[in-house]
Amino acid sequence: MENLETPFDADKQLIIAEVRRFVDREVIPVAHQLEHDDNYPIELIEKLKQLGIFSATIPEAYGGLGFDFTTYVQVVEELSRGWMSLAGIVNTHVLVAYMIAAQGTEEQRQRFLPLLAEGDKRGGLCISEANAGSDVQAITMTAVRDGEDYIINGAKLWVTNGVHAGIFAVLVRTDPNAQPAHRGMSVFLVEKGTPGLTVSRTFEKLGYKGVETAELVFDAVRVPAVQLLGGSEGAGFKHAMSGLEVGRINVAARAVGLAQAAFNDAIRYAQQRATFGKPIAQHQAIQLKLADMATKIEAARLLLQKAARKKDRGERCDLEAGMAKLFASEMCQEVTLDALRIHGGFGYTKEFNVERYYRDAPFMLVGEGTSEIQRLVIARQLLEQYKI
């Protein structure tokens, strides 16, 4: 299907084409088995490192490729077309790298970004807690100053890359009495192996397999003050929300890529499967589904590209990112279900990839903020724009 977004320059087109070839040759042939075995894709991760995917958005001055987000979301689409879990491993990493590049001190950028660009140390984001998911300001994890260090105590849930990440961006309370609450929050960069940091458990999931989702416990974890993101307390909520703008754009890209995979399989199967003397693609009922699926995917892609371009301009884009994430994730759920229906009984079996797409799609509805939260974000921005 033709992409309608503004054409990229030749170098970026070559990179996207290379990722597309990688997905076709290296990912799609093994994704089905890796997903059903729920195995961490060590070999694919090594190949992603060689392609430079983990350095994609890191500035060239720190060893990265320096992609803009308009290019990056195309890469995410392609990875998700092959296996959505791969894009999840990359997403959390990119979020942490972005927060360091955009909000960190120069010392932090020079210390952490080259390590992240190599891909050997990957990033993990620690925001949610048992009683603080969508309500980020309800977190209870604390960091208390102790000389030249801070002591962090608490636990974080739903940490993608929780087992295999090497550098975690951790949202904490540095001033529990601050009003409003977000003014007392800060982000720390905590390295794997720091005494007191442990993985207490990982979660078995409906889909989104092969990538770990973990609970991390911080028991008197001592972190040097120089690892306070940005070097000053109180900006953590802003740092986290800026990172989540990137995360929501990424989830929208994942949803588009996954839906595209479902559509590709469905339109291929519809031309191979015959009923009543002709391919089911010649039946009007199937044609209507295919038309709606393709239209929804293209609409979501355009919303995604608009959000990415605004982020590239350095502008606030929570409205656009929220719209893209909301529409794309809901669209993905609808398209994967239609793909399953087009496959009929075979769509419900593990012989075809559509059952995987159908299990992976719900993650996009809740990851990086539920659809309901996106609607609230969108509504607040609209009321501000159309204020009487």
Strand, coil or helix: what is 111? Answer: helix
Residues contacting 18, CB < 8 A, separation 6+: 51
CATH superfamily of 238-385: Butyryl-CoA Dehydrogenase, subunit A, domain 3 (1.20.140.10)
Distance from the Cα of residue 353 to its chain's centroid: 21
DSSP output for 350-367: TTSTHHHHHHHHHHHHHT
Distance from the Cα of residue 166 to its chain's centroid: 18
pLDDT band at 10 (very low <50, low <70, confident <90, very high): confident
The C-alpha atoms of residue 137 and residue 139 are separated, in whole angstroms, by 6
Residues that are catalytic? 368
Q: What are the tokens at 127?
A: 């925001």
List pLDDT tens digits, range 121-145. Answer: 999 999 999 998 888 999 999 999 9
User: Contact 154/183 with Cβ under 8 angstroms?
Assistant: no
Question: CATH topology for 123-234?
Answer: Butyryl-CoA Dehydrogenase, subunit A; domain 2 (2.40.110)
**Residue 92 pLDDT exceeds 50:** yes
- pLDDT value at residue 8: 54
Given 1.10.3720.10, 1.10.540.10, 3.40.640.10, 2.40.50.140, which CATH number is that of 10-118?
Answer: 1.10.540.10
**Residue 15 pLDDT exceeds 90:** no
> Averaged over 322-327, what is the pLDDT?
98
List pLDDT tens digits, range 188-206. Answer: 999 999 999 999 999 999 9
**Residue 9 pLDDT exceeds 80:** no
> Averaged over 177-181, what is the pLDDT?
93
**Residue 150 pLDDT exceeds 90:** yes
**Residue 7 pLDDT exceeds 80:** no
Domain coordinates of the chain in residue numbers?
10-118, 123-234, 238-385
Q: What are the tokens at 209?
A: 């397999």
